Amino acid sequence: MTAKKRTAKDMKSAYQFVFGSKEGEIVLDDILAYCHVLEPLTGSTETNAVMIREGRRDVAMTILQKLLWDERKFVQEAEGDSK
């Protein structure tokens, strides 16, 4: 696969296309759960486990940033899911 330079606008459009559908939202929810976005990093005393978890979390946060997510809305939705 050849790496091509893409503009920020192209990437924003691509992310919105992929994650903007109902199926995309389902996949995004699964990614966010797998990456423990809404959970604290603490809980493990093993440094490697914390670093792996932070790496996963960083990927999920990058996806959210590309989607220009609204942090307040995200937190409200997350709190609604936990009730």
Domain with 44 in it:
19-77
pTM, rounded to two decimals: 0.70
Greater confidence, 12 or 40?
12
Give the number of C-alpha atoms closer than 13 A to the C-alpha of residue 21, restricted to the C-beta side: 6
Q: Is 11 a domain residue?
A: no
Q: What does the DSSP 8-state code read for residue 60?
A: H
pLDDT higher than threshold 70 for residue 81? no
pLDDT higher than threshold 70 for residue 1? no
Residue with tokens 């691509």: 14
Q: Is 3 a domain residue?
A: no
Number of structural domains in the chain: 1
CA atoms 66, 70, 74, 80: torsion sign = negative
Give the number of C-alpha atoms closer than 13 A to the C-alpha of residue 80, restricted to the C-beta side: 6
- pLDDT tens per residue, range 14-57: 999 999 999 999 999 999 999 988 887 776 678 888 888 889 99
